[in-house]
Structure 1
Amino acid sequence: MKKRILLQFLYLLPLFILSACTKDDNEAMPQSTISRLYVSNADTDAAVVNTMIFDPADLSTFTEPYKFDSKLPDGNGILFNPYSGTVIQVSRKNKNIRTFRVNTDGSLTNANSFVDEGLLSAREMAYDRSRDVLYISSNIDSAIYVYAKASTLTGTVNAFKKLKLNGQPWGIHLDNNRLFVAIDLDRKEVQLFENVSELAVGNISPTKKITINGASRLHGITYSADRDILLLTDIAESSASGFETDGAIHIIKNVATEFIVSGKLVSPAATIRGFKTNLGNPVDIAWDDRVSKDLIYVAEKANRKILVFKFNDIGDVKPSAIASLSSSPEAIYLDAR
Structure 2
Amino acid sequence: MNRQIFAIFLPIVALLCGCTKDDNKPLLQSTVSRLYVSNADTDASVMSTIIFDPADGAKLDIPDKFDTKLPDGNGIVFDPFSGTVFQVSRQAKNIKSFTVKPNGSLTNKASFIDDGLISAREIAFDRVRKTLYVASNTDSSLYVYIGADTIAGTARASKKLKLNGQPWGIHFENGSLFVVIDQDKAQVQLFENASSLVVGTIVPNKTINVIGARRLHGITYSSSRDALILTDIGEATGSGSASDGKVYIIEAALAKFTAMGAAITPTRTISGLATGLGNPVDVAWDSRADKDLIYVAEKANKAIQVFKFGDNGNATPFRTAALSSSPEAIYLDAR
> TM bucket by the smaller chain?
over 0.9
Residue equivalent to 1:153 = 151
In structure 1, give the amino acid aligned to 2:183.
L
Q: How far 1:283 sits from its partner (Å)?
A: 0.2
Distance in 2 (alpha carbons) for counterparts of 1:176 and 1:135 = 14
Q: How far 1:331 sits from its partner (Å)?
A: 0.1
Task: Give the secondary structure class of the aligned counterpart of 1:101.
Answer: strand
Q: How far 1:60 sits from its partner (Å)?
A: 2.7
Residue equivalent to 1:29 = 26
Sequence identity, in percent? 60
What are the residue-to-residue correspondences of 1:51-90 with 2, within 5 Å? Answer: 51-90=49-88
Matched, 1:105 2:103: yes
Q: How far 1:71 sits from its partner (Å)?
A: 0.4
Residue equivalent to 1:218 = 216
In structure 2, relative to structure 1, the CA distance for the partners of 1:31 and 1:248 (3 Å cut) is farther
Match of 1:130 among 128, 131, 141: 128
In structure 2, give the amino acid aligned to 1:244.
A
Residue equivalent to 2:235 = 237
Q: Tell me, yes or no, if the aligned pair for 1:213 and 1:266 is still in contact at 8 Å.
A: yes
TM-score (norm 1): 0.92
Matched, 1:91 2:89: yes
Task: Give the secondary structure class of the aligned counterpart of 1:185.
Answer: coil
Q: How far 1:103 sits from its partner (Å)?
A: 1.2
Residue equivalent to 2:274 = 276
Q: How far 1:30 sits from its partner (Å)?
A: 3.2
Matched, 1:176 2:174: yes
Task: Give the secondary structure class of the aligned counterpart of 2:50.
Answer: strand
In structure 1, give the amino acid aligned to 2:100.
V
TM-score (norm 2): 0.92
Q: Tell me, yes or no, if the aligned pair for 1:232 and 1:249 is still in contact at 8 Å.
A: yes
In structure 2, give the amino acid aligned to 1:163.
L
Residue equivalent to 1:9 = none
Match of 1:43 among 28, 41, 44: 41
5+ unaligned residues in a row in structure 2: which ranges?
1-19
5+ unaligned residues in a row in structure 1: which ranges?
1-19
Q: Tell me, yes or no, if the aligned pair for 1:60 and 1:320 is still in contact at 8 Å.
A: no
> In the TM superposition, what whole-angstrom CA distance separates every residue of 1:302-321 from its partner, at most 9, and x where no partner exists?
00000000000000011010
Q: Which runs of 4+ in 1 moved over 6 A?
A: none
Task: Give the secondary structure class of the aligned counterpart of 1:219.
Answer: strand
Distance in 2 (alpha carbons) for counterparts of 1:192 and 1:225 = 14
Q: Tell me, yes or no, if the aligned pair for 1:46 and 1:73 is still in contact at 8 Å.
A: yes
Residue equivalent to 1:8 = none
Distance in 1 (alpha carbons) for counterparts of 2:103 and 2:71 = 25
Q: Tell me, yes or no, if the aligned pair for 1:38 and 1:51 is still in contact at 8 Å.
A: yes
In structure 2, give the amino acid aligned to 1:242.
G
Aligned length, in residue pairs: 315
